[in-house]
Amino acid sequence: MSKNGQTQQFDKAAFQAAVEKHLTTTYAATVENATPRNWYMAMGKALAEISTGNLLATEQQLASEKARSVNYLSLEFLIGRLTGNNLISMGLYEDVAAAMEELGQNLTDLLEEERDPALGNGGLGRLAACFMDSLAAQEYPAVGYGLHYEYGLFRQSFVDGRQVEAPDAWRGIEGYPWEVVRPELTQHVSLYGHVEAYVDDAGNNCRRWVPGMTVEGIAWDLPIVGYGNNSVYPLRLWECRSSAPFNLSRFNDGDYVGAQYPALEAGNVTKVLYPNDNHDQGKALRLMQQYFHCACSVADILRRHLAAGNKIEDLAALETIQLNDTHPTIAIPELMRVLIDDFKMSWDQAWEICSHTFAYTNHTLLPEALETWSEALIQQMLPRHMEIIFEINHRFMLQVEKTWPGNNEVKRKLSIIQEGPQRMVRMANLCVVSTYAVNGVAALHSELVKRDLFPEFNELFPGRLTNVTNGVTPRRWIKYCNPGLSALISEKVGDDWPAHLEKIAGLEKFADDEAFQQRYMAVKKENKQRLADWINENMGIELDTNAIFDIQIKRLHEYKRQHLNLLHILSLYHRLLNDPTFDMHPRVFIFGAKAAPGYALAKDIIFAINKVAEKVNNDERLGGKLKVVFIPDYRVSLAEILFPAADVSEQISTAGKEASGTGNMKFAMNGALTIGTMDGANVEMREEVGDDNIFIFGLLVDEVQKLKNEGYDPYRYYHADSLLRAALELLNTDEFTPGHPGQLAAIRQNLLDGGDPYLVLADFADYVKTHEEIDAQYRDQKTWARKAILNTALMSKFSSDRSIRDYANNIWKLEPVKR
Ligand code: KOT
């Protein structure tokens, strides 16, 4: 790697010529009349030509070396904008900025033209994107398999404070410049129909699926560019189209509109990303998406394997398939079906391969997020798969019988088929039975997976259940999004830290250096100003960057407890107005969150925060001490401005509910101090930074359990705590909704009479007290700077490079292949 991390010669003149050629021939614009969007598209195309070349070369090298690779199957890849990030990975950022400047274009402005590809809901999808980045950066051979949704996660706006959803046509009219369609990789996917028995030529009794219809899977590749190397891996996204665009007989009958009907239906399969995070809706079209994704991906894995000259028997030796949660579980019976029905393997041969090929990551313990599918639905859509699932379960039940003879209760609990009025298939059980490794995503979470979710499985399959703590890519989440901090880090520890995050530990010795503290805090101030400018320009709210920027950005969910944050804000409002002795450092509370469109209480919480913001931001009596901002349409590109600008990071889920969290890591890397519960990865972050450099509060997992077992009574806290009472009562007035009392009462109702399922009231007092500590400590800027620096310095464990090395060494048994 040469200067600037550049991996190959950059020919400026040739690049400029390529941009201008695309401007005219691809986008029909001239240098004189081109819009910024034309320029961005043409530049993107010219860059994609370079990465596509490297993608093909990497593909060929890996095939010829017969390298073992991982296939990362995920219904979500929340990649965010690619252009800026790929420029950094290619080491071309400065060169391209200069080349575009000569063409009269400002690179920073052009990068703003890119829409976010929002092909994920939140943490799970963003993790998949960070993992692809880390696989490529470390050259672990990999293919990401996902869906080419026509519409990504909905766009959010607020109308009178309420969330309104709009479709997200992320590819625009022109298409996305980084994607390349691969027609030669098209797959055909069957659906519906029935299974029939037949006797083959050798006299064997066989079964085969006679499908009711087929659809086509079109492959679109996005380049995952390795940082500072020339490896480029594909993120392969499948688009569903109708196999036959017209039903020809009906077309010839003159029924032109009716003839196009099947085409419209097939297009529906990958039309839109389901907008639920941590929630299973159980819709038939979602099952079809899942199967379509799995059938295309499994077929493509086999195609690659065989095309490289490998034997089908060697599949497990050369390929591993990681299932990102249970969403792609149907890949397991699909591979069994192909091996048995198409490759004519015996059950035992096929099972030997499958059970050594798949591994599964569990991302949640929330019961409402654990997927089950109705047996009747699978039977109808995928009849052969249902047979295979029954057979897997039958053999598994025999094994359970051996370990726990005559114990029907344990059988009922472990069975892949859940009995009841409507029999359901438990996808997590199918995964644990059929994979060689199951991991949770943070140490605490993985312990709870073993202890609470799958204790008997852990007994039955010792060693199968394990942990890989999540991580985030330091390329996007420090280097790209925080250039000021990056320059400062490079000056102190050298410039190879983005690929070797252990190096940032070198900052630790500057934590007490006053000159360094001042520069570090100056960078923070600039980042706060950048965010304040964005908020002023887009929302018309003016902020003082001397205030504490206290940020909670993540999906809106009761267990994440944005309403605990809200109650704290209400308590400050109450004290500022009613307690003349109360003083506080000015504070800006910033939120960003989308609520699932069908999640009423989550939407009520958004509405309440917006209404409180409206009042508070214009209330002269508060003397500018309290501001509340709810940023609309929170997405990756806004996260890139928000994380670097935070002083305080809110990670306040009920203990045991947030499997890991990954925003917590991004905040800390960028020097925000965490206020958080002993939940998910917060626990390991505390281990790394030390108790003095993080603000931990609230009940522990076992205390939550104990309180619930004893019969939790939210009214106990309500009666005992006058501040809490004052905050809750504000929700019953028309203080924030003038003339409309009760518009915010649903939240209060849920917390008091609804039983407060996430123990908001139980944790309130400790939360308030911990915020008072934050207030006091922020006033001592030197001490604060020291803590912030230590947070950056001590976060190296949470690089997704480390996560991927853990997967590679402990689960996948994968070696890097250098280009
Ligand atoms: C579940 C169902 C549908 C869509 C998303 C989920 C989901 C998301 N389950 N867990 N997650 C989050 O995954 C992140 C990455 O591991 C975790 O950091 C986070 O705690 C999970 O809530």
Q: Is the pLDDT of residue 267 over 90?
A: no
pLDDT at position 247 is 54
pLDDT at position 1 is 45
Which of 124, 287, 453, 682 to probe ligand 1 with, by most ligand atoms within 8 A of CB?
A: 124
Q: Is the pLDDT of residue 242 over 90?
A: no
Q: At 287, is the pLDDT very low, low, confident or very high (cuts 50, 70, 90)?
A: very high
Q: Is the pLDDT of residue 296 over 90?
A: yes
Q: Is the pLDDT of residue 250 over 80?
A: no
DSSP of 666-694: HHHHTTPEEEE-S-TTHHHHHHHH-GGGS
Q: What is the mean pLDDT of residues 186-194?
A: 97
Residues with a CB atom less than 6 Å from ligand 1: 121, 123-124, 127, 276-278, 325, 363-364, 369, 441, 470, 658-662, 680
**Contacting residues for 401 by C-beta, under 8 A, at least 6 apart:** 411
Contact 442, 684 (CB under 8 A): yes
pTM over 0.90: yes
| Residue 502 to residue 504: CA distance in whole angstroms | 6
- Residue 212 is assigned to a structural domain of this protein: yes
What is the ipTM, given to two decimal places? 0.99
With 0-12 / 13-18 / 19 or more C-beta atoms within 10 angstroms meaning exposed / middle / buried, residue 787 is buried
Instruction: State the helix-helix crossing angle for 562-578 and 600-617, rounded to 10 degrees.
Output: 30
| Residue 603 to residue 570: CA distance in whole angstroms | 18
Torsion of CA 110, 115, 119, 120, to 10 degrees: 90
- Residue 393 is assigned to a structural domain of this protein: no
Q: What is the per-residue pLDDT across 300-317, written as a single tens digit (0 to 9) for each?
A: 999 999 999 999 999 999
- Residue 760 is assigned to a structural domain of this protein: yes
- Residue 443 is assigned to a structural domain of this protein: no
CA nearest ligand 1 atom 10, residue: 363
- Residue 550 is assigned to a structural domain of this protein: yes
Residue 279 Cα: closest atom of ligand 1: 2
Contact 466, 76 (CB under 8 A): no
Distance 129 CA to ligand 1 centre (A): 13
Q: What is the per-residue pLDDT across 629-682, written as a single tens digit (0 to 9) for each?
A: 999 999 999 999 999 999 999 999 999 999 999 999 999 999 999 999 999 999
CB atoms within 10 A of CB 160: 10
- Residue 693 is assigned to a structural domain of this protein: yes
| Residue 46 to residue 88: CA distance in whole angstroms | 16
Q: Is the pLDDT of residue 65 over 70?
A: yes
Parent domain of 735:
546-777
Distance 802 CA to ligand 1 centre (A): 20
pLDDT at position 766 is 99
Residues in a beta bridge with 124: none
- Residue 248 is assigned to a structural domain of this protein: yes
Q: What is the mean pLDDT of residues 386-391?
A: 98
pLDDT at position 9 is 85
Distance 235 CA to ligand 1 centre (A): 20
CA dihedral for 178, 180, 185, 186, sign (positive or negative): positive
Residue 371 Cα: closest atom of ligand 1: 2
CA nearest ligand 1 atom 15, residue: 124
Distance 73 CA to ligand 1 centre (A): 15
- H runs (alpha helix) in 404-513: 408-414, 427-434, 443-448, 455-460, 474, 483-493
Distance 557 CA to ligand 1 centre (A): 12
- Residue spans of beta strands (DSSP E) within 26-159: 69-73, 142-147, 155-159
Q: What is the mean pLDDT of residues 689-713?
A: 98
Distance 564 CA to ligand 1 centre (A): 21
**Contacting residues for 443 by C-beta, under 8 A, at least 6 apart:** 467, 469, 683, 684
Residue 126 Cα: closest atom of ligand 1: 15
Size (the chain), residues: 819
Question: In this prediction, what percent of the chain has a pLDDT beyond 90?
Answer: 96
Which contiguous run of DSSP H or E holds residue 517?
Answer: helix 514-539
Q: Is the pLDDT of residue 42 over 80?
A: yes
Q: How many domains does the chain have?
A: 2
Closest CA to 681 of 694, 666, 664, 695: 664
Q: What is the mean pLDDT of residues 359-374?
A: 98
Residue 363 Cα: closest atom of ligand 1: 10
Closest CA to 593 of 601, 602, 585: 602
Which of 130, 131, 279, 364 to probe ligand 1 with, by most ligand atoms within 8 A of CB?
A: 364
CATH code: domain of residue 703: 3.40.50.2000
pLDDT at position 693 is 99
Closest CA to 137 of 471, 529, 562, 614: 471
pLDDT at position 251 is 55
Choose one of 336, 368, 400: the last residue of a domain: 368
CA nearest ligand 1 atom 13, residue: 124
Q: What is the per-residue pLDDT across 495-520, written as a single tens digit (0 to 9) for each?
A: 999 999 999 999 999 999 999 999 99
Residue 75 Cα: closest atom of ligand 1: 4
Which of 132, 363, 431 to probe ligand 1 with, by most ligand atoms within 8 A of CB?
A: 363
Using only C-alpha atoms, the chain has a radius of gyration, in whole angstroms, of 27
Contact 794, 688 (CB under 8 A): yes
pLDDT at position 694 is 99
pLDDT at position 2 is 46
Q: Is the pLDDT of residue 255 over 80?
A: no
Q: At 549, is the pLDDT very low, low, confident or very high (cuts 50, 70, 90)?
A: very high
Which of 74, 277, 682 to probe ligand 1 with, by most ligand atoms within 8 A of CB?
A: 277
| Residue 119 to residue 74: CA distance in whole angstroms | 11
Residue 658 Cα: closest atom of ligand 1: 20
Distance 763 CA to ligand 1 centre (A): 23
Active-site amino acid positions: 363, 554-555, 560, 662, 666
Contact 237, 245 (CB under 8 A): no
Distance 449 CA to ligand 1 centre (A): 14
Choose one of 310, 336, 368: the last residue of a domain: 368
Q: What is the mean pLDDT of residues 204-224?
A: 96
CB atoms within 10 A of CB 630: 24
Choose one of 303, 333, 368: the last residue of a domain: 368
CB atoms within 10 A of CB 466: 16
Q: What is the per-residue pLDDT across 101-117, written as a single tens digit (0 to 9) for each?
A: 999 999 999 999 999 99
pLDDT at position 246 is 53
- Residue 246 is assigned to a structural domain of this protein: yes
